[in-house]
Chain A
Amino acid sequence: MSGMSRIVKTMASVTFPLALIYGLYIIAHGHLTPGGGFQGGAVVASACIMILVAYGSVWTMGKIKEKRLSAFESLGALGFICLAFFGLIFGANYFFNNFLVHPEGLDIIFNGTAKGLSNINTAGVIPLMNFAVGLKVIVGLFAIVLVMAYATTKLKGEK
């Protein structure tokens, strides 16, 4: 896509931060309110795709390369699986152990136990896994659409 008119670009630039804040709120409050890593990641990826449609895939590909997106996605996957493996080391020693709120485990951050009071400092390893899965879903879905849009665009040199 070769970019749309100036009105569409301006409106996309204005609405992009709002959608971004909404998606990041869903990710960060995944253990308190409805939503989570996948849902918030889908919302943020939708906002990024709005920018991609408004400004064109050539401009977007000039801003960020797909190799960097692949690196970020691998980072998210590694964070998720490393948090799962840390459960084997600390606490009660089983896979996917929630070691941050376990009585024998660590007691550093996110260590509270919720009683319906919506305290954000609760739920142990679940917010960290939400961040990892959210990063993975944002970058993964955006990379799919970006690569497909760039591959079907006719560049200047081609016929």
Chain B
Amino acid sequence: MEVEWLTYLIHIIVPIIIVIAAALAVVFKDLIAAAIAVAAMSLLLSLEFYILQAPDVAIAEAGVGACLTTAILIIAIRATKREEEA
């Protein structure tokens, strides 16, 4: 019974943090901080997939979303400007 209660709590908390991280990625003016926020959102999304019993999607999301997308975004930011223009 206590385990079910904990599961419901995690089901509520993790999507809220995902939405907060996604909003922070939009708000930040420093683009590298925004890229790190996207990576955190992706990692939490893979955790949510794992809780929802889809481990295949969780592994793919953790590999592609949290590592490859961040690397590509940071390479693109390094080739351009770091600060967002207002």
A and B touch in the complex (CB under 8 A): yes
Chain B residues with CB under 8 A of A26:
59
- Docked-complex contact A49 and B75, CB < 8 angstroms: no
A132 within 8 A of B: no
Which secondary structure dominates where chain A touches chain B?
helix
Given contacts A35-B55, A36-B56, A39-B56, contact A46 B63 (CB under 8 A): yes
Which secondary structure dominates where chain B touches chain A?
helix
Identify which of residues 1-41 in chain A touch chain B, using a CB-to-CB cut-off of 8 Å: 1, 26, 34-36, 38-40
B19 within 8 A of A: no
B23 within 8 A of A: no
* C-alpha spacing A124/B68, complex, angstroms: 32
B51 within 8 A of A: no
> Contact residue range for chain A?
20 to 34
Could you jot down 18 A-B contacts, CB within 8 Å?
A26-B59, A34-B59, A39-B63, A42-B60, A42-B64, A42-B68, A43-B62, A45-B63, A45-B68, A46-B63, A46-B67, A46-B68, A145-B68, A145-B71, A148-B76, A149-B75, A152-B75, A152-B78
Chain A: residues with CB nearer than 8 A to chain B? 1, 26, 34-36, 38-40, 42-43, 45-46, 49-50, 53, 141, 144-145, 148-149, 152
